[in-house]
Amino acid sequence: AMSGAKLRPNLVSFNAAISACKQRGRWEQALDLLRWMCDQALVPDAISFNAAIAVCEGAGCWEWALELLGAMPASDCVSYNSAMSAAQKAGQWQLALHALSEMMVAMIAPSSISFNACISACASIGQWAVARGLLNSMAEMRIIPNTITYSAAITALEKEGEWQQALGLLRSMRAAGVLPNV
């Protein structure tokens, strides 16, 4: 009796399939699965979108990651962090900063991961002044910098030849009890 029953994929099975695409970098399939969900009269949820954004981030498809972020009915911190990380990895520091700004306008509290992506993006092109502003914003928001935060800021300083400020930041890092990475 059960052999004739047709199983239809549900939200959970689609989300699992989209997440599985990340391991192989199959961003096109992840996007196809999102479209297929809609064809099946299923509404993608935050997990669906976040998984697809993460697949795009991992595959270096920052444009699609940002497009999906914009298409989400309700974004969250994970959504923004993945999109900012995708922009950062592609050297799109201005887009990472724009996503951080949009996140705050949407009243979504950023995390250290949010700031790390933006500071790392700034570090990749030596934008120390912007990175310093982000560090200051973290302090104002009471978001505690971690090893990644400090390392990215020190990298930005190093690219601008500001070794004295880099040493000062390293001292601040140690004073805050954050261990440097080696």
The DSSP letter of residue 73 is S
Distance CA 181, CA 12 (A): 38
The pTM of this model reads 0.84
How confident is the model at residue 120, as a pLDDT?
93
Distance CA 44, CA 72 (A): 9
How confident is the model at residue 4, as a pLDDT?
57
| Lookup result for tokens 């990644």 | 148
Short-list 54, 55, 42, 52, CA closest to 12: 42
pLDDT at 1 over 50: no
Contact present, 57 and 39 (Cβ < 8 Å): no
pLDDT at 117 over 50: yes
How confident is the model at residue 9, as a pLDDT?
85
